[in-house]
Amino acid sequence: MSIPAESFLSALQVFAAHERMDPLMLLCKLTEECGELAEAVLVEQGFKPHKTLEPEAAIAEAADVLLCMLLVLSRLYPGLTPEQLATRLSQRADEKLARYVARQPALRA
C-alpha cells in the first residue's frame, strides 16, 4: 500500500510559485474548510434537511481541505522544495496508513 509523492507534488509546486499567505492565516482557513466539510456531511446524511448543497458537496469540500493542508505545510516548511515535502509527506502517509490497516479487524469472507 502506497500513496505516491506525485499525489501531492503538483499542488505543492503551484503553491511554491504563487501562494504567500502566512501559516497562521492558513490554519484559520483550514479550520473554515473543515467546517464546510462537516456541514456538507451533515446535509448529505440528512441531519440538516432544511439545507441543500450541490451533489457530492462533501467530495468538493474534502478536496478543499486536502489542498489547504498542503498549503499549510508548504508555508510551514519553506526550506523544503515541493519535491522534498511531497516525498516526506508520502512516506509519513504510508506509515500512518499501514498502522491504520494493521489496527483494523479482518473482514469476514
Q: Is the pLDDT of residue 48 over 80?
A: yes
Q: Is 84 helix (H, G, I), strand (E, B) or coil?
A: helix
In this prediction, residues 58-63 reach a mean pLDDT of: 97
CA angle 56, 104, 3 (to 5 degrees): 60
pLDDT value of position 1: 66
Q: Whole-model pTM above 0.75?
A: yes
Q: Is the pLDDT of residue 102 over 80?
A: yes
The dihedral over CA atoms of 9, 11, 12, 13, expressed in degrees to the nearest 10, equals 80
| Residue at 77: amino acid letter | Y
- Give the torsion sign (CA, 44, 48, 53, 59): negative
